[in-house]
Amino acid sequence: MNFHSEVGKRIMMNSTRFSYFTLSAYFDTGVFQYLYFMIIMSLYVFIVCANVSLIVIICMNRSLHEPMYLFLSSLFVNELYGSTGLFPFLLLQILSDIHTVSTHFCFLQIFCLYTYVNVQFYSLAVMSYDRYLAICCPLQYNKCMTPNKITVLIVLTWLFPVLAIVVMISLNTSLQLCGNIIDRLYCENYSLVKLACYDTTVNNIYGLIYTFTVLTGLMLLILYTYIKILVVCFSGSKQTRQKAVSTCTPHLASLFSFSFGCFIVVLQSRFNMSGAPIMLRIFLSLYFITCQPLFNPVLYGLNLTKIQTQ
């Protein structure tokens, strides 16, 4: 008992409440500093312009006030939200010589990025459910997708992730930390939890339960709906197959691209990838927040006929 008591005292002495974190993944870019700044700035401007344009087109045209396009609007809003949670911060860090961030802003950024990821999965699940009803149950579609139900689905798409991440942030803010160096370009939950001085079992259990019950459940729902859609496609007419493929291809491409990006981020957090080239590590760590806002407007804008003809 005395030994454990002494260990506990030493841990508490070594732990502290830091007012800032240092992001150690940045490196001296030298003469390329402003080139990287212009690249990131161009990407962010394109993301804002493309997503805002599609949101405006959908809102201004009453013919597009259908469930699929309303869910797309929610998706585009989320992409603007997630991009704004990261890109302006990256731009400031690129121009700065001291790569630090306040504790409060670090938790705020974690909240923004993790709610973005979760809302994205919920949105893709709702959109797959909408396509399932439209293709597999066309006669019941209008009865099932009423304006009230659409509103409820969009609200829940945002409400559940916000509540889940608020709980996660609450658990993290109570941690006593023994360091303030995060080996990332931005604040990331797992990297912060690794700095804790004492047992983080509660945080880990909550993360595992949420991941395997909610996110895995959403993935299974999405896969189930698209399997049913494929069955209908292969058993239906050529026109049915063409319609299903034209509407589902962007959804599937978005799902696989986003899932791949999130999987890479999880691998980077859990395993030591210091042997990989630094530019590759940076690209992979930014892929999940960059690919969707960049390519989704292009995918949906080119493939959805009603948007394309506006």
Q: Please state whether the predicted TM-score (pTM) of the whole model is above 0.85.
A: yes
Q: For residue range 90-117, what is the model confidence (pLDDT) as tens digits? A: 999 888 888 888 889 999 999 999 999 9
Closest CA relative to residue 37, chosen from 85, 88, 86: 88
Q: CATH number of 21-308: 3.90.1150.200, 1.10.600.10, 1.20.1070.10, 4.10.520.10?
A: 1.20.1070.10
Helix (H) or strand (E) holding 113: helix 103-136
Name the more confident of 11 and 79: 79
Q: What is the pLDDT of residue 232?
A: 78
Q: Is 177 helix (H, G, I), strand (E, B) or coil?
A: strand
The percentage of residues in the chain with a pLDDT greater than 90, rounded to a whole number, is 23
The token duo for 293 is 């806002």
Residue 276: phi and psi, rounded to 5, are -75, 150
CA-to-CA distance for 189 and 15, rounded, in angstroms? Answer: 18
- The CA-based diameter of the chain, rounded to the nearest angstrom, is 77
Q: Is 306 helix (H, G, I), strand (E, B) or coil?
A: helix
The token duo for 45 is 């401007």
The token duo for 268 is 């980077």
Write out the E strands in the chain. Answer: 20-23, 100-102, 181-182
Q: For residue range 13-38, what is the model confidence (pLDDT) as tens digits? A: 444 567 788 888 777 777 778 888 99
Q: What is the pLDDT of residue 305?
A: 54
Residue 214 gets which letter from DSSP?
I
pLDDT surpasses 50 at 8: no
Q: For residue range 252-288, what is the model confidence (pLDDT) as tens digits? A: 888 888 888 878 877 777 766 666 677 777 787 888 8
Q: Are the C-beta atoms of 176 and 14 separated by less than 8 Å?
A: no
DSSP tally for the chain: helices H, then strands E: 13, 3
Name the more confident of 71 and 27: 71
